Every structure is written in structure tokens, then in C-alpha cells.
Structure 1
């Protein structure tokens, strides 16, 4: 992944909710370089969602519809665990 693209995704991980910042930044720092094209597209789709909807997905109040997004959500949840 090119440096400007990586920087753009890392910047988009900064949200209006501290909880989302922690979840997304932990995942991005650990795994962003290893995402394949489908996973990257799913991650970008997650970042395009409003904070409230994204929080519901990442905190388990709702589940994503498609498999790739569900896998990325599970990886985000795992990356944030100590």
C-alpha cells in the first residue's frame, strides 16, 4: 500500500467517538498493510458509515450483512483486545 493511501486510511480512522478511535486505530496500525483488495474495500466501506452505525457494528449491537465486512469487523474487534 502506498504511503499516501495508508495515511488517508489512518486519518479516516479518527472519528468523533473515542471508542471508535481506539478500535479503528488499533486495527489499522496492526493490519492495514495486510488487507487484500476485498478487505480494503470493506474497511473503506466501514469508514464511510456514520459514527453511530459504525459503533453499533463494532460494539456488537448489529451485525454486518456481507461476509467480507463481517470478517473485517471481527478482525477490528480482535485487534483492540489487550
Structure 2
């Protein structure tokens, strides 16, 4: 399964359950995130402080340590999905 299909599936599942989805600022210039559809984000994350209950980074194995360092510094629970 392609990464974009996996991301599309996870986001669709979250949207159906009414989850608020926040996108990292580095992806703001990609309205469809390469997914072939719009992503309905509740907000944009920038900087190092986020007002969220938990994080679900969708990333590859090389990006996971960077995501964990950025999110874990705030003591956020992280459920990582590696693609």
C-alpha cells in the first residue's frame, strides 16, 4: 500500500469519528498533502508548544525520532504510525 493511501485511510477514519486534525506548519503549502483530496484541518501547529491532548505522527522511520523529540518535549502522549 502506498504511503498516501495509508495516510488517506487514517485521516478518513479520524474524520469520521469527529477528531480534530492539526497539520504541522511545514505541510501548509500542500493543501491535499499529496493525497488527492483536501484535508480538513482544525488548525496548524507551529513552534514547539501545542494545545492538544495527544499526538499521532504519520511518518517514516527516519522522521520518527524528530517527531518524537518535538512532541515528547511537551510530555504529550504519542501514538506513532510508521509508513
TM-score bin (small chain) = 0.3 to 0.5
Larger Rg: 2
Higher strand fraction (1 or 2): 2
Structure with the bigger RCO (C-alpha within 8 Å, sep 6+) is 1
